[in-house]
Every structure is written in structure tokens, then in C-alpha cells.
Structure 1
Amino acid sequence: MSIFVLMAGGTGGHLFPAMALAQELRRRGHQVQLMTDERVTHYGDRFPAREVYVIPSATPSIRNPVKLVQAGIKICFGIFIAFKQLRKSNADAAIGFGGYPVFPPFVAAKLAGVPGILHEQNAVLGRANKALARFADVLALSFEQTRFANDFSIEKVVTGNPVRDRVRDTAKGIVYQPVKAGQPFRLLVFGGSQGARAFGDLVPPALAALPETLRRQLRVTQQCRPEDLERVTEAYRAAKISVELSTFFDDLPERMADSHLVLCRSGASTVAELAVLGRPAILVPLPGALDADQKNNAAFLEEAGGGWLVEQATVSPQSLAKRLEELIENPQALSAAADKAKALGQPQAVERLADLAEKVAAKK
């Protein structure tokens, strides 16, 4: 048995692949610990780790010298805390999944002599991983072509982006069923807190602009912010569209599998899960990201024919309505996109990453 310390920022995009790896490592008889930030409270009770440690961290900002110094002090304190815990746990390997909360524990692992793997979920190497690459033994990639990865001379292994057991179990044996004339068309809309706000403003008027026959056919499931629930509910009621709204869906993989079309952000975990499940999607990347990671993820799926990239800055309810009408009335196009998305899926990514983790741990 080996002891693996997984390190991930406390968002689903980082925690979900870490969770998938934890599930696989535990199946193989290993012990798993997690180092993350305080946001883990949203997921921590479901994370399959023997111990969960919240490590102090901060995102440095060069624009504000005072905040930069404060962040530096907090990061140094986080390194100290993580170093003590790593020495105490006698860890065999550390696997980091990106985000600035990974910085203190991953640097601490290097100082403690614990070999480390950095996993990049996106099609572009993130800023935190670029800063940490010099401390890593291996860089694990989700995409064959990952921007900035070749800037570093360390070993690189393409493993794919692990998806949780729940996603893999849902994907087994399912086949995309194109909608037939007169049958309900199931549209799923989600995007995290920032996506929920934008989609709450954009999607209801777009669907309201569809012809009445299509509006009657729709069965919409949409994530919505608590403060927007009443407003969005009223918009759908006025348009006479059947909708289920919620601030959070804990059965999202099953809902994705049950959908004819998904409208969502293009975070790495979302794109990986869409591919494993084989579901066509309209992808609206989070705007303003310095690394343009979500745009690169969406472009990868679009170029393969598995989805459609739509920029938030240029989309309007009218243009979205036109795109939706074209797709709803062309089930063959949706079915073809589902097949092409499925062809990109890597359900065995978690096994490849676990194999790599065991290989690195054996070196210690």
C-alpha cells in the first residue's frame, strides 16, 4: 500500500478529476489524503479521502503591492503547514490538479522529497501549473496538444482527464436517442455560479423567441442562482415552456445522459464528461479568462464535430434562438455530434493516471 496526497483547488473542475483518481487508488488498496482550500466544504463530505487538510493559500496579484505581500505571507505559511503534514504522513507521491491552492502543498512536497505529478485538465497549461512545473517530476496531460506544455523539459504523459465513477457508470450501455417528431425535446442548461447568471439572462428570452410548436416540445432543465429563481420562473411561465429550475443538481451526470442537447460552460471536467457520455453541446466559454482555457476546450470539441462554440460577448437571445431552432429541427445533426463527442471520450483516463501515480510512488 502506498500513501498518495492529492492536491486540488476547491472547485468542481479541479476536485472532480482528483475525486476520480481517489476512487481508483482506493480500489487498488492505497491510502488517499486530500490537501485543498476552504471551498472543499461544498464537496468534502463526498471526497473519498482518509483525511482532508485545508491548507492556507492565496492568489498573488502584482497590481496591489500590499495584497501581494499578504498573499506571499499566506502562501509561505501554507507551505509550512503542508510540509509538516507531509512529513508526518510519510507520503509516497503527490498529485496536483491545478489552481493556486495547490501551490503551497506542491512546493512543500518538493521540499519534503515527495515525488510529484502535475495534472493539467485543460487544453492550455494554467498559470498555477506553469509556476509549479519546475517542482514536478511528471506532467500529466488531458490533451495531446496542450499549449505551453512543451515549454518545460520534464517528462510528459497524456493520460486524459479522469471522470468520476458516477459518470462512467452512467455512460455504460447508453446510446444517444435522437428526438422524434412530436416527442419532448430535453434541453439541459448549467454553468456554475457565473454561468447560471449569464444563462438566466440569455436562455429564457432565446427560448421564448422560438416558434410555438417548438416551445411546446421543450422540456428544459436549468441551473439558476437563488436570487434569479423568481425572475427566470416567470419568464418561462410567460413563454409557456415546461421547465425545472434548481440552484444545484446533484444528479447532473444522469441529467446530461438524458438530454438531447446541453448548453453549458466549457470547463475541463464538463467537456470530459460530455465526451464520455457522448452528448452534443452548445459551449459558451467563461469570458475574460487570461489563459482562455475554456475557449480552447470548447474549440477542441467543436473541431472534432462534437459541439458548437458560442462566444458570450457576441451571442444574443435572437442568435441563440436561431441556432437552437436549427438544431432542434435537425436531430440527425445532433445525433452525429453525439457520436463524435463519444469518440473523444476517455473513460479509461483514471486508470492511466493511477498507473502513472503508482509508477512515480515506486521510485521513492
Structure 2
Amino acid sequence: MDFAGEHVISVDQFDVVKVERLFAVADGMLPYARRQRVTRVLEGAICGILFFEPSTRSRLSFGAAFHRLGGQIVETTGFAFSSMAKGESIYDTSRVVSGYVDAMVVRHPEAGAVGEFAAATRVPVINGGDGPGEHPTQALVDFYTLCRELGKRPGSLGGATVAVVGDLKYGRTAHSLTKLLALEHQIRFVCIAPPELQLPEPLVAALRERGHRVEQTEELADGLRNADVVYATRIQQERLPAGLTLDGVQDRFAIDAALYDRVCRPGTVLMHPLPRDSRNNPSELSNDLNRHPALAIFRQTDYGIPVRMALFALVLGVADQVDATARDASWYRPERFGVDDTKPMLP
């Protein structure tokens, strides 16, 4: 499956075969992401990272992934530090930057804007999130994590129950993940949210049309029962329409260890795209779950490196050349990154 030269704008571009190819390449990237091996396959290549919205994980993981392949990055963050503050169009910005770099990663607050960047260039453009639209690479990371946590491969998750909790209307990660999981057969989606934050109706209709079961509820405890995976999300305060107040919603949909032990089946996987909103206690997934073996959120972020390395290697056509420049890493690396981690990194 040849990805070379492709833009990655939407999960709609992926079928099970392409996902399987990506995940197979990501599996091969694990020794490099674990710091066991070093490759220079993209030595001399430059990636432009243009983020016009705040980000920690996505921006740094894209940069780290490109560096781990031996490439370099140039970046700009925010409108104030780009020529868009002077009125430059997306077309002009994309065309100019594509003359400097071999690939671009773009995050923008408006749905569809990253597609405009891609339309202006033949340099591969990867969508790092476009407002309330999509976050395809996060969905691929989430899907990869879900498969590894359940011991499955793409196409073999039929019959699984996935509970999606929180802001399902404005949370682009929930949109992209449910669309990607729709490639499977007969998934049971349990959408747990207040009515004003439920999954958009066109997406619900599309899931049902493909033969999936979609249930919607405001009852957190009932929705969590019998789930194989729980995907929690924060309230997207920055995207809410003016005048919409959701005081107390975070409290109603917060999951802690006591609730997990009371209603979840043993082994139910807990996921979250992060950040957890810790400004109000409790957050979506309470800190008392940090040592819980079911909490996969940090394994999830760790998997962002091999998956994004795989994407870069595929769109730049070097996936089959990675090992040719490889050598063992010589520096110290811990078995576990965090003091609360219950499993070695990247199992």
C-alpha cells in the first residue's frame, strides 16, 4: 500500500487495508520510539509544523517523531507570529512554506482549513486538528492503542462495546475515532453525554447505516457497564457557542476509581486523548486512577511517536528503508517514564 506523496486530512481516506499497513509500519517503529534503536532515514529532510492553536502533545510528538527518523523541523505557533496576522491567505502561506520543507503538519481553529493548505501544494500535508472538524492522527493513535490494549488487529474488533464520554459534539477526537471504528463490524457505541453535547446526528446516522449499534444516554454508571473500552473527553470550553453554559457537567461525567470498580468489568480499558481538564476537581479521569493498570492514557500518548513516525515514513516513501541506517542507541533510558506507570513503556 503506497502512501507516498499523500496528504492526510481525514480518517475517511483510510480503509482497513491502509490502517493495517500503517500499524504494521508503526510496530516496526517501536524500537526507535523506545530509544533502543536510532535511524537516520530522513536525514536532510525538513518538516514544517504550523500550529495556529495551542498544543502540547500533538506539536511535540510530531516534532519528536520526525527527529527520531533523522529529520529536522521548522515551526511557527499562533497567528500573531505568522504572516496571517498581516492578512496573508492560506493559499499563499501554504505555497510559500512548501518551498522550504518536505512535509507540513498544520493545526488550525477552522474546520476545513487544513484541506485548504493541502489544496495549495503537492508537499504532503498532515492534519494536526482543524477546529471542531477532525484530528485524524489522534484517531489513528487511539485506534492503535485500542488494538494493542485489547490484543486485536484492525478488522477484528467486531462485537466490542466502546463507551464514549463527555463532549461528543465539539470534541473532534471523538468524531474521528468513531468514524475510524466504523470500519469494523458491528461495534456497539454507547454515547454518554448531556443532550447538548451528544454526537452529531449525521455521524450517528452514518454509524447506524453501516450496521453499528449506537446508544445515547446521560447516565454515566449505566453507560459504563459492559464496556470493553471507555474513551473519555474533556468539555471543549474554547469551542462552545456564546451563551452556552455547562456548569457542573464535568462533575457529572467524571470517572474515579470507586466508580470504575463498582460498575466496570475487570480489564475495561480507560482512554483519553488528553489534556485532562484539572482546573476543576475532579477531572474527567480522576488522579486516583493513575496507578490503575486499566488506565491507558499515558501508553496512548507514548504510542503517538511510533504511529506518527510511521505516517511520516509512509508519506515520504521511506518506510522500507528505515532499518538500513539503524544502529543501537547508546544513552540511558528508563524502563518506565512516569513514577505511577504500572507497565513498561510501549508494551
Is the pair's TM-score, using the shorter chain for normalization, greater than 0.5? no
Q: Which has the higher helix share?
A: 1
Which is bigger in relative contact order (C-alpha 8 A, separation at least 6)? 2
Which structure is larger by alpha-carbon Rg, 1 or 2?
A: 1
TM-score between the two structures when normalised by the length of structure 1: 0.28
TM-score between the two structures when normalised by the length of structure 2: 0.29
